[in-house]
Amino acid sequence: MTPLVAAESAGIDYGVTRVFEEIDLVIAPGTQTVITGRSGSGKSTLLLILAGLIEPSRGAVSWPGLSPDPRIRRGQIGMVFQAPSLMPELSALENVTLPLRLRGTSLATAWADSGAALATVGAADLADSRPAQLSGGQQQRVAVARVLAGRHLLVLADEPTGALDRENAQQVVSQLREAVTRAGGALLLATHDEEIAAGFTARLDLDSLAQATP
Ligand X SMILES: Nc1ncnc2c1ncn2[C@@H]1O[C@H](COP(=O)(O)OP(=O)(O)OP(=O)(O)O)[C@@H](O)[C@H]1O
Q: Which of 2, 9, 26, 40 binds ligand X (CB under 6 A)?
A: 40
Which letter does DSSP use for residue 71 in this model?
H
Binding part of the chain for ligand X, among 38-46, 112-120, 127-135, 145-153 by CB under 6 A, reads 38-46
Between residue 63 and residue 82, which ones bind ligand X under the rule CB under 6 A?
Answer: 82
Q: Which is nearer to ligand X, 43 or 146 (CB)?
A: 43
By CB under 6 A, residue 160 contacts ligand X: no
The secondary structure element, H or E, covering residue 205 is strand 202-205
Q: Does 208 bind ligand X (CB under 6 A)?
A: no
Which region, judged by CB under 6 A, interacts with ligand X, from 37-45, 125-133, 148-156, 173-181?
37-45
User: Using an 8 Å Cβ cutoff, are 23 and 7 in contact?
Assistant: yes
Does position 191 interact with ligand X (CB under 6 A)? The reply is no
Is 80:44 a contact under the CB 8 Å cutoff?
Answer: no
Interface region with ligand X, contact rule CB under 6 A, candidates 34-42, 62-70, 149-157, 197-205: 34-42
140 binds ligand X per the rule CB under 6 A: no
Q: Does 44 bind ligand X (CB under 6 A)?
A: yes
Q: Is 184 left (phi over 0), alpha (psi -120 to 50) or beta?
A: left
Q: Applying CB under 6 A, does 41 fall inside the site for ligand X? A: yes
Q: Are 82 and 162 in contact (CB under 8 A)?
A: yes
Tell me the β-bridge partners of 7.
Answer: 25, 61
213 binds, options ligand X, Mg ion, none, Cβ within 5 to 8 A by partner type: none
Q: Rule CB under 5 A: which residues touch Mg ion?
A: 43-44, 82
81/200 with CB nearer Mg ion: 81
Distance CA 115, CA 93 (A): 7
Residues with Cβ within 8 Å of 98's Cβ and at least 6 positions away in sequence, in order, are 87, 90, 146
Q: What b/e string do you get for 122-155 counting C-beta neighbours within 10 Å, with b at 16 or more?
A: ebeebbebbbeebeebbbbbbbbbbbbbbbbbbb
Amino acid of residue 101: R
Instruction: Identify the residue among 17, 133, 174, 208 touching ligand X (CB under 6 A).
Output: 17
Selection from ligand X, Mg ion, none that 99 binds (CB < 5 to 8 A by kind) is: none
Q: For binding to ligand X (CB under 6 A), which residues are involved?
A: 14, 17, 19, 37, 39-45, 82
